Structures are given as C-alpha cells and as structure tokens.
Amino acid sequence: MKDLLYLTHRIPYPPNKGDKIRSYHFLRGMAERWNVHLGTFIDEPGDWQYVSVLEEFCGETKFIGLNPSMAKLRALTGLLNNTSLTMPYYASNVMKQWVRETAEKNDIQSVVAYSSSMAQYVAPLTATGARTVVDFCDMDSDKWRQYSERSAGVKRWIYGREARKLCREETAIASQFDASVLISDDEASIFHEQTDIPSSKIHTVRNGVDTGYFDPELTYINPYASNCKAIVFVGAMDYWPNVDAVSWIVKEIFPSVRAKNPDIVFYIVGSNPGREIQNLHNNQGVTVTGTVEDVRPYLRFARCVVAPLRVARGVQNKVLEAMAMARPVVATTMALEGISFDTDSGIRVCDTDQSWINELQAVLRDDEADRSEPGARRHVTDNFSWEASARSLAKVVTGI
C-alpha cells in the first residue's frame, strides 16, 4: 500500500457530530486503499479513550491535546498578525514537527487535510511531489459571514473580519493545493464564485449516512411518555447555529403550537448544552437531555424531527439521519441545502414563523401516531452512501 497523510482538526471518533462523522468514514475508506498516517487534535478529555480504536487501522498516529481556553487566547494573535482567528487556534509546533518527521520517514504519496485549519501543516509538502487535497467540507468563511449578519456590535465586527480573512486564506490554500473538496454542488459553486478558483480544481464529495445503523426496523425502547406527542431536535448543543435554532423554536414557535396541542413535548437532544439551552429545560413542555447513549430511539418514536436552522452551510447529517429513520422532517430551506428530495420524502419546508406553526400543527393532527416515511429512507439509501462518497474521494486523491 502507498502512504497517505491525513490531518484532521478533531479526532475522527466517535462519529457523533458532523465533522467527526465525515472524517471518520473517509478515514475508514482511505485506510482500505492506503497506509494512512493520522495527525489530529483532541479537544474533549473523554475522547482520549478512543485513541486505540483508530490506531488499529492507521499507520503512524499523532494525537495532540487541545485546550479550548488556551486555543482561544492563541487565536487572538490573529488580530495582531492580520490573519484569521481560525488558523492560530489550531497552530501547533508539535503537529508541525510530527508532519515533517512523518514525511521524512515515509514515502508520502498523498496528503488530505480535513478543513482549512489543517492545511497550514501541508504547505511544506507541496514541493515534495505528493498530491495535496483539502476537504473544506463547508465554506467556513461564508458561515462566519452569516454569523456577522445575525449579530450586532463587537460580535458583528469580529465575525465579519473572520469571514474576510478566512476567505482570503481559503483562496490561497485552494490555489496551492492540487484539489479542493466541498460537500455539495451548491457549496462548490459558492466556493468557485467567491474565490475564483478554477472549477477543474474543485470537487464535490457528499456526506453519507449509515443506513444499517440508522434503521427504523431495529428494536428500540420508546424514550417518551405514552401520553405525549414528541417533536425532537438532535445536534451538538455547543454549536451556535443549533443553539440559535432551538432557542428560536422554543420562544417563537412552540408556545403557539402547544396552545392547541397541550400534549406536545419538545426534546432537545445533544451534547454539551450551555446555560442558555439548559434554562429551557421544563419550560412549557421542553426537555433538554444533554448527551444520550443512542439518538436513534428519540428519532424513531418522534412525531417529527425538526431542523430549524437559520444559519447553515453544507449538508446536515441530522436531516439525513432522520430521513434514514423514515421520520417526517420539518426544516428550513437552509437546513436542506444539498439534499434534493422527492414529494414523497415526508419533508416539509418552512421559512416563516407562521409556516412553522401550520406545518407542526398539521403533523400533530395526523391520526397515524407512528407515521413512517419510507420514501425518505429510500432516498438516502439510494443517494447518500458513505461507500460511494469514499470512492469519490479516492478518485480525487488519486487524480483520476
């Protein structure tokens, strides 16, 4: 097997949040074709227990602890050095040295950097003849632009600055690398328009969903009380777009819906809920679970799954997983970017307060309490396979 260097900004295991899901499945796919050397950061103490899982199918590995508080302080140097805050956040002399030593000891044929923040370690290898690929996944600079538009005061200025600086850096990275990967055709088009990178160097590699794991026909225990109608949101609750989404639903939408449906409950399922989200717990039928061992029962027995994202980029795993579990989905247009769907997919699109109220009430009026959406599952089974996505990435890496 030829040698490949894979760099990720967060340990790609367990695959329990967006970036870790994508990086894990791509790591597994590449490990079937190359001898993969993995360099990554660990920003949650509990993730150190999974190091041995990745060592089993990787070559050389480097796991570096990243303290978020110290990283935030380090990020501020970007204000002095006229760079983004993202790059110094993930700057590490230890990682830089490991990459150099690994390249010297092994015949690295290809390098894949997951996210723009890890591309800074690949620059010294661009002259070695190794094929360099950056998986931007989403265009992070455009996400910061959206943050800026929804903020005010100092935050608006900082977010706007980050959008501009990071876009400049993304353009420089894409110019230096042999290929850039984006998560959807829409994202690739935006990237091309904003960076002017030739479309021949930009490739789309979709996300996928593990339909064997997210299978509604498996046996689950209902986590909800028998006398309630549950709607659920699933996602990491230390991620600002998710916080914004559920806060909006609880404050602006849920009270009106519950006034006509007193047996409705709203479950917010996801890790690391901050004080803002914790304060929503037991507020007029709202339950905040925090981390759960298995999200599938919460999806399987919900009347519907909501994805009320008002800031989003790329393809939302939370939507794909809900579709794989054959659940009705109510979502904003932004949350559905990159997910084409048929009329029988059970997806309801809402972008105004009143449309959200109307659609949720319609779902709750459905006499079939355990309504299934087989069209939704069929759609992701046919179009969002991790195996197919891994093959697509392999073609980009090999330059085919």
Tokens in use for 45? 């103490």
The tokens 């709607």 sit on which residue? 231
From the CB of residue 292, how many other CB atoms can be counted at a distance below 10 Å? 15
Percentage of the chain modeled with pLDDT above 90: 72
From the CB of residue 291, how many other CB atoms can be counted at a distance below 10 Å? 14
In CATH, what number does 229-383 get?
3.40.50.2000
Same topology, domains 3-208+385-398 and 229-383? Answer is yes
pLDDT of residue 129: 86
Minimum mean pLDDT among 125-134, 155-164, 225-234: which range? 125-134
Sheet strands (E) in 172-236: 179-182, 202-204, 229-234
**At 35, which helix (H) or strand (E)?**
strand 35-42
pLDDT of residue 345: 73
What confidence tier does 376 reach under pLDDT thresholds 50, 70, 90? Answer: confident
In CATH, what number does 3-208+385-398 get?
3.40.50.2000
Give whole-number Cα distances, 130 to 30, 39, 137, 295, 393, in Å.
16, 17, 21, 40, 16
Domain boundaries, the chain: 3-208+385-398, 229-383
- How does pLDDT run across 258-271, given as a tens digit for each residue? 998 888 999 999 99
pLDDT of residue 123: 80
- How does pLDDT run across 121-147, given as a tens digit for each residue? 998 787 778 999 999 998 899 889 989
- Nearest-angstrom CA–CA distance, 376 and 378: 5
- Nearest-angstrom CA–CA distance, 68 and 57: 28
Contact 117, 8 (CB under 8 A): no
Q: Give the closest residue to 220 by CA, choosing from 298, 288, 323, 306.
A: 298
- Nearest-angstrom CA–CA distance, 35 and 58: 7
**At 254, which helix (H) or strand (E)?**
helix 254-260
pLDDT of residue 339: 82
- How does pLDDT run across 1-43, given as a tens digit for each residue? 899 999 999 999 999 888 899 999 999 999 999 999 999 999 9
pLDDT of residue 128: 78
- Nearest-angstrom CA–CA distance, 290 and 204: 33
Tokens in use for 90? 């993930």
Q: What is the pTM of this model?
A: 0.87
- How does pLDDT run across 58-117, given as a tens digit for each residue? 999 999 999 999 999 999 999 999 999 999 999 999 999 999 999 999 999 999 999 999
From the CB of residue 30, how many other CB atoms can be counted at a distance below 10 Å? 21
What confidence tier does 383 reach under pLDDT thresholds 50, 70, 90? Answer: confident
